[in-house]
Structure 1
Amino acid sequence: MNISSVLSQIEYKNFSGNKDTIIDNITYDSRKVSDGFVFVAVKGFIDDGHKYIKNAITNGASAILCEEIPEDCKALCNFIVVENARKSMAHLASVIYDNPSANLDVIGVTGTNGKTSITYLLNAIFEHVNKKSATIGTLGVVIDKEHVKTEHTTPESSDIQYLMNKMLQKSIELCMMEVSSHALELDRVSGTNFNIGIFSNLTRDHLDFHKTMENYYQAKKKLFYLTSNNNIVNVDDEYGNRLYKELKRDNVNVYSYGIDSDADIRASNLRTTIKGTKFDLNISGIKKEVYVKTPGKFSVLNSLAAIGSAYCIGIDIDLIIEALGLYKGVDGRFEIIHSNLDSTVILDFAHTPDGLEKIMETVSEFATKRKIVMFGAGGDRDISRRAPMGEIAGKYCDLTILTSDNPRFENPYDICEEIAKGVKKYSNNYKIIVERDEAIYYAIKEAKFGDIIILAGKSTEPYQDLGIEKVPYDEKSIAIKMIKKIEHELEKDK
């Protein structure tokens, strides 16, 4: 594709250079540039891509997309000048990669919690009915069993368009994408055609970026005006209920789902054990019994979102229910770690007050003995959620172990002390163990017959962010190692 063809499909302020030049790739990283690439100079919060234009030209860039042309580079390359390089990158990438989302059913999932679980539930449903699907999200990108690591929950726009183009090459029919509030605010999904949008919930998070809950909500809301088919919204959630009403007012297609509300897609009569939850489903007047292997109200809500979306796509309701009954769950989401101990160890990603409370509520439904929780909070992030997480732990648990979780440039002990202020409102039975490995060992070692231990916060996240570096970390492997160590110690003591 030549530059002339591209310019006819995007908005730009001016162009200088040769319009016959061929371009077939796009990147915002000057180190990845070679012949045929457009380099996009993005102005970020910390760095400015305009500083790397000369590097990109040296590496063989065929064109530069930027907001201003450096004086010493004007005659060195083809320049497309735009108002907003980040936003224009999304539309240019869609053009270069032949508008891939127009040939995929793209389901966007947004919300504070539940995004990963919903995308993987949908993937399980589509696999069950032999529809090829792919996922983009917190756990990376999965295309036809191939796993690609990504830096963000929702990648940059040029990466999204490239990945969707790759999906089409693999004959993928559906793409489930976790759409973060950052991605919506920073135009990463501009240029993407969404078939369905899902709203799971909105609770306090990312206020270091959005500043207020209203800004956070308005960022999330953007997704539901990008959809072509339908939207599925959790009206049990306060912000979801508001969103549903606003979409209805604006004549945007939307279905509601919930447990406590009179929703279009509703669950009732929940029966929960540690092995899962059964519930009665009512969708468009159709009544069915559903079983999901992950227990709890939050799991049922996630299932309702997946059921509604798959039903809108045209999947038979009985096949949807059948798939959910077979699905084992997402790694690291309420995952029970096998052991020979007489207690139960659960691994979960809960890292917000709402996420932690949902796990605690679920465990409380079937726990017969003590509940022990181990978790921390991220450094250089919204500090207002630390004490509330401590309050939840103190309220629901018999023992709380506070530890390090991505402290970045903060002192991890100080972060734990902030959390402890909340714990102490309900209980003084807590312990600070900064070294996370030691905290895991202590939590499991302290457990007695019938106790439940929740290791919360990191789950499958593959690193500890220490600010100056990200150290490889695998919570599940460490937990298994500590379980085996304790099993060995108990065997020796017999």
Structure 2
Amino acid sequence: MKVLKDILYKVSIESVKGSTAIELNHIHFDSRLVTNQDVFVAIRGVAADGHMFIDAAISKGATAVVCEDLPSELAPEITYVQVKDTREALAYMASNFYDNPSTNLQLVGVTGTNGKTTVSSLLYQLFKTLGFKVGLISTVTIKVNDKEFATKLTTPDSLTINSYLKMMNEVGVEFCFMEVSSHGIAQHRTLGLDFAGGIFTNLSQDHLDYHSSFAEYRDVKKRFFDQLSKDAFAITNIDDRNGNYMLQNTKAKTYGYGVKNLTDYKVKILEKSFSGLKLNINGNEVWSRFIGDFNAYNLLAVYAAADLLDVEQLENLQTLSQLKPVDGRYQHHISETGIHVIVDYAHTPDALKNVLQTTNDIRTRNEELITVVGCGGDRDKTKRPLMGKIAGNLSTKVIFTSDNPRTEDPDEIINDIEKGVEPQDIFKTLSITSRQQAIKTACSLAKKGDIILIAGKGHETYQEVHGKRSDFDDLKIVKELLAQFNK
């Protein structure tokens, strides 16, 4: 058991009613999970305000409550701790409760619009290959060395993060690589963590359903680097127009990487094909099985972080050449009849543009580039016409379809996408609401040598419609359909 006053270390407290010397079993911000001798933290969420559930938490056995506003009537046997921001308090409390596990390993955060999953996953893969015990917290999965756990959020809540970091401590994990989302930063989920380093990949439009403007989205990302300590490193993509901005106020030691500008870590793309990339990194040639200019940036970020974490240069390069692409990130498959399939998570305008430009750079222009794409429901609506415009401009044929419509009407989402298609590109487009039917149509249109890009869902193996998830794996489905067409 923990003592309340110990887990409140670093929390900015406005007032206390009752004793902080009491022992507690656990911390919860969901009143339904509270049991005897727990502390309940009342979080103001998007859908519900935790302050409405203080009485419910007490009835379930909570002996302490952390809140922003004290209830009008205080239960005499309960300790109430009033704070300015309960999300911020929860972050510090979670670290303290789990004995500050981030201080016992080297934690590296990766933030940006695109590339977070690839960079963090490849760093996990690289250090695992080198024989280290490694952890990963990503959109796709959470890994504690060899054990794998499912995840739904890019950056989990503070309690979940610290519980997994504690688990990593217990098995001797030395390095952990973690995706850091703008939601996670804005909601203080990473506050109180001791980061050995941070990596900025790039910034483009996303999450404007949550952030009020692009400037706010950018500044939230920057806050992650502002919070790094002087002992940490901060690596930025200086080819991105926001790259140097991210590091303006950081106390960390700063480094740059890029393709276009002279910087600490520089890469030249020597050759590119559907087989991979031949790169020159800081004067050394290396072959990788990754495809596309954007992956040259991702690989360079991985190389730079590994270098700053004291991996010897030759080992770094050799291991980099062995790394395997991440599921759903420009994942390439070729059918028996020679049709190329690319499955990618591209769900932002910039990501879709990168994937299509990369494909156009590689193809001979004698073949079709058939793009199947949609946009998620209950998310930033302003990017939908941009996605439509980009798909129309850069593909030879486009099929607009459902992604994860969630609670929205999929046909209305498709209508929003279609509004961005330029007049000269309208003849290229079809709209098919059923994603399976859209993929089937793409397969029927494709001939030997043609390329089918299925964008938006990537690694996801489900489709969410009206709050219900059903099995749906883009790569599995396209493989099955192409096999049927081969018969």
Report the TM-score when normalising by structure 1: 0.93
What does residue range 56-455 of structure 1 map to in structure 2 within 5 Å? Answer: 56-72=57-73, 74-228=75-229, 229-244=232-247, 246-247=248-249, 252-282=252-282, 287-337=283-333, 339-368=335-364, 369-427=367-425, 428-455=427-454
- Identity, % of aligned positions: 35
More deviation in 6-15 or 456-465? 6-15
Task: Call closer, same or farther: CA 1:185–1:396 in 2, change over 3 Å.
Answer: same
Partner residue in 2 for 1:481: 480
1:457 corresponds in structure 2 to: 456
Tell which deviates more after alignment, 373-382 or 53-62: 53-62
CA distance in 2, matches of 1:144, 1:55: 38
Partner Cα separation in structure 1 for residue 264 and residue 322 of structure 2:
25
Secondary structure at 2:55's aligned position in 1?
A: helix
In 1, the alpha carbon distance for the partners of 2:4 and 2:454 equals 53
Cα pair 1:353 1:385 within 8 Å, conserved = yes
Paired residues of 2:269 and 2:296 also in contact (CA < 8 A): no
* Further displaced range: 336-345 or 115-124: 336-345
Shift, 1:367, TM fit? 1.3
Q: Which amino acid aligns with 2:7?
A: V
Q: Which amino acid aligns with 1:273?
A: S
- Distance in 2 of aligned mates of 1:251 and 1:476: 43
Question: 1:122: how far off?
Answer: 0.5
Check whether the contact 2:266–2:300 (CA below 8 A) recurs between aligned residues: yes
Q: Deviations over 1:432-462 (max 9, x none)?
A: 0100011111111210110010110011224
Please state how far the C-alpha of 1:316 moved relative to its aligned partner: 0.8
Distance 1:130 1:142 in 2: 15
Going from structure 1 to structure 2, the CA distance change for 1:56 and 1:290 (only over 3 Å counts) comes to same
Q: What SS does structure 2 have at the residue aligned with 1:207?
A: coil
> Following TM superposition, by how much is the alpha carbon of 1:72 offset from its aligned partner in structure 2, in angstroms?
4.9
Higher mean C-alpha displacement, 460-469 vs 398-407: 460-469
Contact 1:292 1:300 in 2 (8 A): no
TM-score, structure 2 as length reference = 0.94
Q: Distance in 2 between the 1:483 and 1:25 partners?
A: 52
Label 1:388 to 1:4 Cα distance change in 2 as closer, same or farther (>3 A). Answer: closer
Deviation at 1:243, TM superposition (A): 2.9
Cα distance in 2 for partners of 1:307, 1:23 equals: 44
Letter in 1 for 2:343: L
C-alpha separation between the residues in 2 aligned to 1:266 and 1:114? 18
**How many Å separate the matches in 2 of 1:413 and 1:7?**
50
SS in 2 for 1:422: coil
Distance 1:462 1:324 in 2: 28
Aligned mates of 1:72, 1:478 — CA distance in 2: 58
Partner Cα separation in structure 2 for residue 98 and residue 243 of structure 1: 30
**Shift of residue 424 of structure 1?**
3.5
Q: 1: CA distance between counterparts of 2:424 and 2:313?
A: 45
Q: CA deviation at 1:40?
A: 1.0
Point out the more displaced range, 51-60 or 289-298: 51-60
Q: Is the 8 A contact 1:107 1:197 kept in 2?
A: yes
Q: Distance in 2 between matches of 1:76 and 1:261?
A: 63
1:57 and 1:76 in contact (8 A); partners too? no
CA deviation string 1:227-248 (max 9, x = no partner): 232111001111114335x25x
5+ unaligned residues in a row in structure 2: which ranges? none
Cα deviation, residue 338, structure 1: 5.0
1:367–1:62 CA distance, 2 compared to 1 (3 A): same
Aligned-partner Cα distance in 2 for 1:37–1:270: 59
Distance 1:390 1:4, change over 3 A: closer
CA distance in 1, matches of 2:251, 2:67: 37
**Counterpart amino acid of residue 457 in structure 2:** K
Structure 1: give runs of 5+ residues left out of the alignment.
none
User: Once superposed, what is the RMSD of the aligned Cα atoms?
Assistant: 1.8
Moved more, 221-230 or 422-431: 422-431
Closer, same or farther in 2 for the Cα pair 1:7/1:325, shift >3 Å?
closer
Residue deviations 1:266-315 (CA, integer Å, cap 9, x gap):
01143101011011111xxxx21122211111000001111111110100
- Between the aligned partners of 2:360 and 2:113, the Cα distance in structure 1 is 22
**Gap change, CA 1:474 and 1:62, over 3 Å in 2:** farther
Greater CA deviation, 109-118 or 263-272? 263-272
State the SS of the aligned residue for 2:11.
coil
- Distance change (3 Å), C-alpha of 1:440 and 1:235: same
